[in-house]
Amino acid sequence: MKTVLARVIGLGSVALGSLFWPQTKSSAATECQPKTEDQLELKLVQVLFRHGARTPLKSIPDILEAQWVPKLLAVPTHTHIDYVVTDLQGGPRPPAPVEDSYRTNTLSGGTYPGQLTTVGMQQLYDLGMRLRARYIQEVPFLTPSYSPAEVYIRSTNIVRTIESAKCLVAGLFQQKQTGVVPILTSEAETEILYPNYHNCKLLRALSGHRWAESSKLPAIAKDLQGIQSALGIPTQQQVDFILIRDDMVARQTHGLACPSELVNWRSVVEQRAVDMIYHVYEPSKRENLQLCVGPLLHTVLSNMEEKVKGTSSEPNRKLFLYSVHDTTLMPCLMALGIFDMKWPPYAADITLELLEHRTTKEAFIKVSYLGKEQHIPGCSAVTCPLSEFQQAMSAYTLPLDRYKQCCEESKGFPSEL
C-alpha cells in the first residue's frame, strides 16, 4: 500500500485523487429557458477553477528532456496584487508538505516540478477577465474593485493554486483593491479541496489497490507497451499514461521540444490516462465520489442555502472562489453528471450561479463548465430549481462531521450513515 501511495503522490495533482462515474451525459444548454428568466436576480456566484499551466510534476524518463528554465516563470506586472496567505481562521499559513515534496526535485533547466508558469499566470488572468465581463460589465453584480465583504478566496496550500488565485483576482478587479487580499488555505490533514488520501483511511482502502491494477488492464497494458517501445523507454522503467500525459501537455502548452513519436500517440495518451483513473476509483460505487469531493460539494450547497435563508455570517458576500486541481474538478463534474470524459484543461472552471425570482423568491441554480451552461441530470431545465439541484446532489454531498467519521473506517461507510 505504501508503494501505491508513493506513486500516487508522485504522479498526480496533489496525489491524483480523481474519481470517475460511468456517465455520458455532458451537454451544453440547448433547451428553452423558463419564461421567468428575465425575472431572476443573481444572488451568489461560486467558481471552482483549476490552476494555470505549470511545469510537469515528473519528466518522462529516458527521452529527450525539455529545458524548464526559470525565465518560463516570469511574473507579468499586470498580475501583481497585494495579498497574504492565511489559514482558515486568518492565522499564519499552515505548513505545506506537498509543496515541500516538490522542492526536493529539480527539473532539467533548473525549475521545480509543479510551478506555475507565465503562460499559466496569463490563463488565470484571462479567466478573471471573463468573470469581470460577466459579473461587473454585463451584469452589475460585483463592485468593480476588490471588496473583502463581497469576495471569499480559498486555495489548496500549493504555490501554483495560490498564485493562480492571485492572478484571477488581478484580472477580475484589474488590480483595484483596498487593503491586502487574503487567500485562505487549510493544513494538509483537513484539506477538502482535493481527494485527501493521507487523512482518509477509507478512501485509501477503497481505491489504493486499483491504482496498481490500472496499468495492467489488458488494453491499457498493450498500449503502454507500444508507446514505451516507440519512445525507447525500457519495459522495466516505471511509467504510466498519466505521467506521460502530464509531461506531454506541459511541453506542448509551452512550445517545448516533444518527440514526434509522442505527438503521434497524443490521442491514445489522452484516452488511456482517463481510462486509468476511471478504473482506480471503482466508479460503480458512489462512496468513492463522496469521499473525494463530498465535503466540498456540501460546502458549496451550504453557501447557497445560507444565502437563500439569510443566515450567512457574511450577508454581503457575493462571490466564492476556490482554487483547486484537475483532480478536484473531475469528481465534481461526475457528481454533477456532466463529465465529458476529457481531462480538464489548465484554468478550467465550474461556475455555479444562485438566482432568485424577484416576485416568488424561488431559488434557482445555473451551472457552467468552461463558460458553457450545462443541463444537470435530475434538473427540469438548465435554470434548475434549487430544490431539484439539492436532490440531484444528495447522493454525493457529505457533511464534514460525517466525512471525518467515514474516513476513520476501513471497511465501508458506518451503517448509520
Q: What is the reported pLDDT for 284? A: 66
Q: What is the reported pLDDT for 24? A: 38
Point out the catalytic residue in the list 246, 247, 275, 326: 326
What is the homologous superfamily of the domain 19-200+285-408 according to CATH?
Phosphoglycerate mutase-like (3.40.50.1240)
- Catalytic (active site) residue 78: no
Residues 263, 230 contacting (CB under 8 angstroms): no
The share of the chain scoring above pLDDT 70, in percent, equals 90
Residue 35 CB partners (closer than 8 Å, separation 6+):
none
More confident: 414 or 70: 70
- Catalytic (active site) residue 247: no
Tens digits of residue pLDDT in 155-198: 999 999 999 999 999 999 999 998 899 999 999 999 999 999 88
Tens digits of residue pLDDT in 186-232: 999 999 999 998 899 999 888 878 888 898 899 999 999 999 999 99
Residues 320, 143 contacting (CB under 8 angstroms): no
Instruction: For the beta carbon of residue 256, count every other beta carbon within 10 angstroms.
Output: 17
Q: Strands, DSSP E only, in 134-198?
A: 151-155, 181-184
Q: What is the reported pLDDT for 410? A: 73
Report whether pLDDT(62) > 80: no
Point out the catalytic residue in the list 51, 198, 254, 375: 51
Q: How many DSSP H helices and E strands does the chain contain?
A: 13, 9
Report whether pLDDT(317) > 90: yes
For the chain, the structural domain boundaries read 19-200+285-408, 203-280
